[in-house]
Amino acid sequence: MSDDAPRTLITGGAGFLGSHLCERFLAEGHEVICMDNFITGTPDNVGHLIGDDNFELVKHDVTTYVHVKGDLDYVLHFASPASPKDYLEYPIQTMKVGALGTHKTLGLAKEKDARFLLASTSEVYGDPLVHPQPEDYWGNVNPVGKRGVYDEAKRFAEALAMAYQRYHGIETRIVRIFNTYGPRMRLDDGRALPTFMGQALRGEPLTVYGDGSQTRSFCYVEDLVEGIWRLLRSEEREPVNIGNTDEITILEFAEEIIRLTGTDSEITHEELPADDPKVRKPSTAKAREKLDWEATVSREDGLQHTLDYFEEQLRTAGELAA
């Protein structure tokens, strides 16, 4: 452990995205404190990092208080349920980690004079009336709908981060994350990609909600992490979209997964959930201009990497179709 290594706290660090960030920051020479209460994350995601002298895993709920001994250079707040299935199962916890958790981690950043990065989301745009979605679009959110617990928690978190920046002079950064995928996603997290892959690999029908005409834009996790790294080190103080602009309908995506897995699974349709966005595609002009960033991993390559991971998970569990 180097005395002059940058020291970084990553909340939600044992989650899908957080675990990849822990890896990246360790590779960049940081000392990393990974903090998670394991509601949706798991120690398995960072198990390969345990034993690294520069890595520390702490089980803690950041909605209570956050105390870290010693100096901190960076605080990355990624703690939150992030899939509709999870935040509908944990609505109060989702609101608390977006509000109280953001307040506690911002307070820690203020105490340590650390730069703070908030993981926000494309969900702040709701069911958008502007397409693609630029950062200056204020969104179309149902604050009292079921999805509002996540949407409004993140909108509040953004407002609080900006208030700390303006009132206390804290160095804050806000990343609005669009649909991201890759290894360490949970097969049961309820999002389209792991659901389709899990169903296909088990030889089950793929479940498409509505007629499947709703669109999404899928960004591979490696590209997202690069964008976050660049944003954290930049001087950009306003929110920045990070996502892939390659848009596809959910029905087309299901058909793509069937071809990729070689399954003979059929597609079934169920009722579209309330307030489900009809379109979702980022405007990334700001990321290109301010961060010199754009997604580079093709969906074909990213899906193959992810499929390999899920196949191994199901094989280990004895659930892989013959």
The catalytic residue positions are 150
Token pair in block for residue 314: 């199901």
String of DSSP letters for 56-106: EEEE--TTT-----S--SEEEE--S--SHHHHHHSHHHHHHIIIIIHHHHH
Distance between CA atoms of residues 46 and 152, nearest Å: 29
Nearest to 126 by CA among 274, 295, 285: 274
Distance between CA atoms of residues 40 and 90, nearest Å: 10
Q: How many residues does the chain have?
A: 322
Phi, psi (deg, nearest 5) at residue 99? -95, -70
Distance between CA atoms of residues 20 and 45, nearest Å: 9
Unique residue bearing structure tokens 């709701």: 126
Classify the C-alpha dihedral 140-144-148-152 as positive or negative: positive
Distance between CA atoms of residues 82 and 15, nearest Å: 10
Distance between CA atoms of residues 51 and 163, nearest Å: 38
